[in-house]
Chains A and B, each alone.
Chain A
């Protein structure tokens, strides 16, 4: 009977899929995610400005070839008989587009990356080819660092514990985990991470990026299929490529597309040979760092269970930053950790340290401990870093006897909603989920990338701007990362600046009629986050 019922359910699902409708188990609370369409005239102007830039780029290249203009210093001298190190095509973009506005990136700081930070003042005499430091400092509101829970601190329990660990163990281990770099502090850390995430076991690595690139190849290989979100981080993409599996890309957060791709793959098997796949691994991120969107985890889990795939969830931007207990998107959606096979995340962001983890069933973690490239060849995590994670994680879990961790989580949740709502009300086009601490604001025109960044910094706000190739060519954007260390005053200050700059360079493109449907005074929001700040 049960079998028949299951089959019927499957058939029903298939039908629903055919009609482009999904039977997803919606979360209990209202959620809101927006990707407002680009107005047509903006798209035209954006393409036009790229065209102008490219024409001018070619003209300047011509001038350089004829000797009217000096070659930028970092060009390769041509040597006879040697193949040039770079293709002309790839350096064209760098030389003629990126270099002109290079001052918007790689800005050095000379303080803690906290709620406010000091930037080193630099000037350029040659249109951003080189920079000169003046020795002055610029103090600015920090909306660029991934300091979600505000653990980038140089005082307090974390820094004290990290100092003690430095004095006790030193800065280096100088060996890999499988040789002689296996310390008790690593075991303590791994136990704590497993407890924090509610899984059987965890292992930790010295670098978050390498956690993806070095472990995905251990899990899948030739004859396996990786189904990956089109906007996954570079480390996931490289890890998938290194594994040698077949890779299929599905549209960003599009569950119908994901299910269709997986369904076809299971039915048709491997290309050409039609043998069944060895395994299918779904790669998704918790919070997408350029879109501010949140993975629709309940749907992914439903699809994964239905088609017997495995799920690799990268929580780099969500662990600590999402959910009422700070345990990531699982906590946010109320899903069970048992439904995710591999939980991956980094310690760089919410915990103010560095490194990454992989958590899951004991059998999988043990396998990785024996087979991971990182465990075998790379130096193990140093003691002060491990200690910083242990202390900050204990605070989030409330093990220090205070509610400081809860307070941070709630402050971040409040900040995210408040900031996003205010931006939308001002008339900016803002992408992403209402609860994500990553808030992208659309700039579109390439000229506005640098203008926005420079103007904000002039008024005392440090923020990240990104353009092609990190985003689609017309969707250049500014990105704000909220932090629990921001107070309402700090955020209001930042909002004032953004408002002013937005008016100055005309960024309020939104054509939404009604007010956005988000509020930090929702009843169920207040119910889930107990310690929301009162303003």
Chain B
């Protein structure tokens, strides 16, 4: 080849060299081969910064938000004329003396003089705040006593307490379920569970409310997928998240079927008993007691001290190896100050009262059934949920289906009842952030201290108000 090159005519070599240079130029020096990097000048950058207009931090209030704020303006105070002076069976709302059918103070623990004495004694020993998280000298002996009392009461190996009801389940879920794990949740779980799911970053599949067939369908789907990919299945933890007594519907979770599915498909169950703890079951142990199911079948039970026990905070109970993990991994436990000792003391005393005076719970359950029956008889209203549930959702039986209209109507019923001496409330939801918003309704909360006469009187008033409000609506409609 070299020989050929030498022997080739001069002009030939020249032409070839020119060709090679041209190709090289085409390859490296033409615009189309240059990577397109735009470098902004300082001035352009400054202009961009100058031009940028952020959205306002808080958008102007929408109509529904403004309405919520109005609701927010309802000021409750203790009832002045009654013998019992705390927010309890009676309250004043915006200056009107009312029978309280709104606070979820089911067992009237807030008015109990014994709790008051114990809480004050604790205040006089420990002060109000604990001034530290549990790890750093925020553990007061009272917290240990409360954990022990809860663990003994529920018949579990260990209990852990949180200082805020909402943060309990929201911290417990991400402590176990991580990215890559699967959560099966009831579609109408309450907001704290939704936040827990979000914080865990796990995959989530929702099943229809209390629909065990739907859950089984999802579990079977997953089983098929697991068979295709056994390596992944070996490290994917699965959890079912349910509420014992639904916060949005007031009905019980079908636990026997759920436990069957849990064992069949080897999925762990976390159950939130915020409402059912202290209100359901013969001694108030919740849904497991109601169905007569061994507590150890449920891997983790979370609950609230804020409703039945009339204190503040929440708790989890379960096996030691499960619960103890939260002492290092439950974010709301590790990074938050512990519960004020006086409030934990109030919970201890309330738990003791719950065991010493079983008649409180009996009366609550009787009252719930009676209230449920009486409400169902009011014309124009529809009642849903379990008869034994201490919260009862009341909807309009001929609802328009337009959320705004129905809500306004129910709100008028609530305001009118308030003037006539019955405190009610429409449950508050953040519509655009909720996964499932139940139809507009009024939530009636039952108190164990209500007498049959008081319930009947309340029903009479509600009945009259509903009739009046609905007749004006009908008049408008015509």
**Is the C-beta of B312 less than 8 angstroms from some C-beta in chain A?**
yes
**Cα–Cα, bound, A341→B56 (Å):** 11
Question: Taking the nearest CB of chain A, how far is it from the CB of B360, in angstroms?
Answer: 15
**Cα–Cα, bound, A145→B337 (Å):** 10
**Is the C-beta of A31 less than 8 angstroms from some C-beta in chain B?**
no
Question: Taking the nearest CB of chain B, how far is it from the CB of A176, in angstroms?
Answer: 6
**Is the C-beta of B407 less than 8 angstroms from some C-beta in chain A?**
no
Q: In the bound complex, do residue A242 and residue B335 qualify as a contact, i.e. CB atoms below 8 Å apart? A: no
**Is the C-beta of A307 less than 8 angstroms from some C-beta in chain B?**
yes
CB-based nearest B residue for A10? B46
**Is the C-beta of B45 less than 8 angstroms from some C-beta in chain A?**
yes
Q: Which of B209-217, B285-293, B423-431, B453-461 contacts A (4 or more CB under 8 A)?
A: B423-431
Q: In the bound complex, do residue A388 and residue B61 qualify as a contact, i.e. CB atoms below 8 Å apart? A: no
Complex interface bits, A77-118 against B, C-beta within 8 A gives 1, otherwise 0: 100011101110000001000100000011111111110010
Contacting residues of chain A (145-189) with chain B, CB-CB under 8 angstroms: 145-147, 151-155, 158-159, 162-163, 166-184, 187
Q: In the bound complex, do residue A109 and residue B78 qualify as a contact, i.e. CB atoms below 8 Å apart? A: no
**Cα–Cα, bound, A348→B136 (Å):** 13
Q: In the bound complex, do residue A209 and residue B195 qualify as a contact, i.e. CB atoms below 8 Å apart? A: no
The interface residues of chain A lying within 8 Å CB-to-CB of B54 are: 277-280, 308-310
**Cα–Cα, bound, A147→B78 (Å):** 32
The interface residues of chain A lying within 8 Å CB-to-CB of B321 are: 74-77, 85
**Is the C-beta of B332 less than 8 angstroms from some C-beta in chain A?**
yes
Q: Which interface residue of B136, B140, B195 has the most chain A CB atoms within 10 A?
A: B136
Q: In the bound complex, do residue A172 and residue B105 qualify as a contact, i.e. CB atoms below 8 Å apart? A: yes
The interface residues of chain A lying within 8 Å CB-to-CB of B428 are: 176, 178-179, 376-377
Q: If the complex has contacts A210-B332, A279-B54, are A159 and B141 also in contact, measured as CB distance less than 8 A?
A: no
Contacting residues of chain A (6-35) with chain B, CB-CB under 8 angstroms: 7, 10-11, 14
CB-based nearest B residue for A388? B128
Contacts A/B (CB < 8 Å), 20 sampled? A76-B321, A105-B136, A107-B137, A109-B137, A110-B141, A113-B132, A144-B136, A145-B132, A146-B337, A153-B127, A172-B306, A172-B311, A310-B57, A354-B128, A363-B58, A368-B58, A369-B68, A371-B65, A377-B190, A462-B137
Question: Taking the nearest CB of chain A, how far is it from the CB of B215, in angstroms?
Answer: 18
Point out the residue from B52, B77, B123, B433 that lies within 8 Å of A183, measured CB to CB: B77
**Is the C-beta of A373 less than 8 angstroms from some C-beta in chain B?**
yes
CB-based nearest A residue for B345? A171
Question: Taking the nearest CB of chain A, how far is it from the CB of B301, in angstroms?
Answer: 16
Question: Taking the nearest CB of chain A, how far is it from the CB of B96, in angstroms?
Answer: 12
**Is the C-beta of A405 less than 8 angstroms from some C-beta in chain B?**
no
**Is the C-beta of B109 less than 8 angstroms from some C-beta in chain A?**
yes
Contacting residues of chain A (332-349) with chain B, CB-CB under 8 angstroms: 341-342, 346-349
CB-based nearest A residue for B60? A363
| Apart from A178-B71, A280-B54, 10 more pairs, CB < 8 Å | A11-B42, A74-B324, A171-B311, A174-B103, A208-B336, A348-B130, A366-B58, A367-B58, A377-B190, A462-B137
Q: In the bound complex, do residue A106 and residue B72 qualify as a contact, i.e. CB atoms below 8 Å apart? A: no
**Cα–Cα, bound, A362→B136 (Å):** 36
CB-based nearest A residue for B74? A182
Point out the residue from A85, A187, A210, A342 that lies within 8 Å of B166, measured CB to CB: A210
Contacting residues of chain A (360-406) with chain B, CB-CB under 8 angstroms: 361, 363-364, 366-371, 373-379, 382, 384-385, 388
Q: Which of B4-12, B16-24, B86-94, B367-375 contacts A (4 or more CB under 8 A)?
A: B86-94
Point out the residue from A81, A180, A307, A348 that lies within 8 Å of B129, measured CB to CB: A348
**Cα–Cα, bound, A120→B164 (Å):** 25
**Is the C-beta of B75 less than 8 angstroms from some C-beta in chain A?**
yes
The interface residues of chain B lying within 8 Å CB-to-CB of A207 are: 163-164, 166-167, 332, 336
CB-based nearest B residue for A307? B49
Contacting residues of chain A (45-81) with chain B, CB-CB under 8 angstroms: 73-77, 81
CB-based nearest B residue for A377? B191
Q: In the bound complex, do residue B45 and residue A174 qualify as a contact, i.e. CB atoms below 8 Å apart? A: no
Q: In the bound complex, do residue B131 and residue A170 qualify as a contact, i.e. CB atoms below 8 Å apart? A: no
CB-based nearest B residue for A233? B335
The 10 A-B residue pairs with the shortest CB-CB distance in the complex, in nearest-first order: A367-B58, A370-B65, A209-B336, A207-B164, A178-B428, A348-B337, A170-B110, A378-B166, A170-B86, A145-B131
**Cα–Cα, bound, A80→B322 (Å):** 17
Q: In the bound complex, do residue A180 and residue B76 qualify as a contact, i.e. CB atoms below 8 Å apart? A: yes
**Cα–Cα, bound, A110→B312 (Å):** 20
Question: Taking the nearest CB of chain B, how far is it from the CB of A138, in angstroms?
Answer: 12
**Is the C-beta of B183 less than 8 angstroms from some C-beta in chain A?**
no
**Cα–Cα, bound, A108→B344 (Å):** 14
Q: In the bound complex, do residue A110 and residue B104 qualify as a contact, i.e. CB atoms below 8 Å apart? A: no
Interface residues of A (CB under 8 A from B): 7, 10-11, 14, 73-77, 81-83, 85-87, 94, 98, 105-114, 117, 119-120, 142, 144-147, 151-155, 158-159, 162-163, 166-184, 187, 206-210, 213-214, 219, 233-235, 238, 241-242, 263, 266-267, 276-281, 306-310, 341-342, 346-349, 351-354, 361, 363-364, 366-371, 373-379, 382, 384-385, 388, 462, 464
The interface residues of chain B lying within 8 Å CB-to-CB of A142 are: 137
Question: Taking the nearest CB of chain A, how far is it from the CB of B100, in angstroms?
Answer: 8
Question: Taking the nearest CB of chain A, how far is it from the CB of B65, in angstroms?
Answer: 4
**Cα–Cα, bound, A178→B59 (Å):** 20
Q: In the bound complex, do residue A111 and residue B167 qualify as a contact, i.e. CB atoms below 8 Å apart? A: no
**Cα–Cα, bound, A182→B337 (Å):** 24
Q: In the bound complex, do residue A346 and residue B337 qualify as a contact, i.e. CB atoms below 8 Å apart? A: yes
CB-based nearest B residue for A84? B237
Q: If the complex has contacts A173-B103, A175-B425, A348-B129, are A162 and B58 also in contact, measured as CB distance less than 8 A?
A: no
**Is the C-beta of B218 less than 8 angstroms from some C-beta in chain A?**
no
Q: If the complex has contacts A81-B266, A85-B237, A388-B129, are A238 and B165 also in contact, measured as CB distance less than 8 A?
A: no
Q: Which of B27-35, B112-120, B396-404, B464-472 contacts A (4 or more CB under 8 A)?
A: B112-120
**Cα–Cα, bound, A428→B45 (Å):** 47
**Cα–Cα, bound, A166→B111 (Å):** 10
The interface residues of chain A lying within 8 Å CB-to-CB of B238 are: 83
Complex interface bits, B172-202 against A, C-beta within 8 A gives 1, otherwise 0: 0000100000000000001110010011000
Point out the residue from B55, B69, B105, B192 that lies within 8 Å of A370, measured CB to CB: B69
**Is the C-beta of B283 less than 8 angstroms from some C-beta in chain A?**
no
Q: If the complex has contacts A81-B266, A182-B76, A238-B331, are A174 and B104 also in contact, measured as CB distance less than 8 A?
A: yes
Q: If the complex has contacts A98-B328, A109-B137, A388-B129, are A370 and B66 also in contact, measured as CB distance less than 8 A?
A: yes
CB-based nearest B residue for A112? B127
Q: In the bound complex, do residue B137 and residue A113 qualify as a contact, i.e. CB atoms below 8 Å apart? A: yes
**Cα–Cα, bound, A106→B324 (Å):** 13
Q: In the bound complex, do residue B110 and residue A171 qualify as a contact, i.e. CB atoms below 8 Å apart? A: yes
**Cα–Cα, bound, A147→B72 (Å):** 33
Point out the residue from A111, A176, A346 that lies within 8 Å of B125, measured CB to CB: A111
Q: In the bound complex, do residue A174 and residue B306 qualify as a contact, i.e. CB atoms below 8 Å apart? A: yes
**Cα–Cα, bound, A139→B277 (Å):** 38
The interface residues of chain A lying within 8 Å CB-to-CB of B131 are: 113, 145-147, 152, 348-349, 352
Q: In the bound complex, do residue A266 and residue B322 qualify as a contact, i.e. CB atoms below 8 Å apart? A: no
Q: In the bound complex, do residue B58 and residue A267 qualify as a contact, i.e. CB atoms below 8 Å apart? A: no
Q: Which interface residue of B73, B128, B170 has the most chain A CB atoms within 10 A?
A: B128
**Cα–Cα, bound, A349→B103 (Å):** 30
**Is the C-beta of B249 less than 8 angstroms from some C-beta in chain A?**
no
Q: In the bound complex, do residue A179 and residue B310 qualify as a contact, i.e. CB atoms below 8 Å apart? A: no
**Cα–Cα, bound, A68→B134 (Å):** 34
**Cα–Cα, bound, A367→B60 (Å):** 8
Q: In the bound complex, do residue B40 and residue A267 qualify as a contact, i.e. CB atoms below 8 Å apart? A: yes
Q: Which interface residue of B72, B236, B334 has the most chain A CB atoms within 10 A?
A: B72
Q: In the bound complex, do residue A162 and residue B336 qualify as a contact, i.e. CB atoms below 8 Å apart? A: no
Point out the residue from A83, A106, A107 that lies within 8 Å of B237, measured CB to CB: A83
**Cα–Cα, bound, A278→B131 (Å):** 38
Q: In the bound complex, do residue A117 and residue B137 qualify as a contact, i.e. CB atoms below 8 Å apart? A: yes
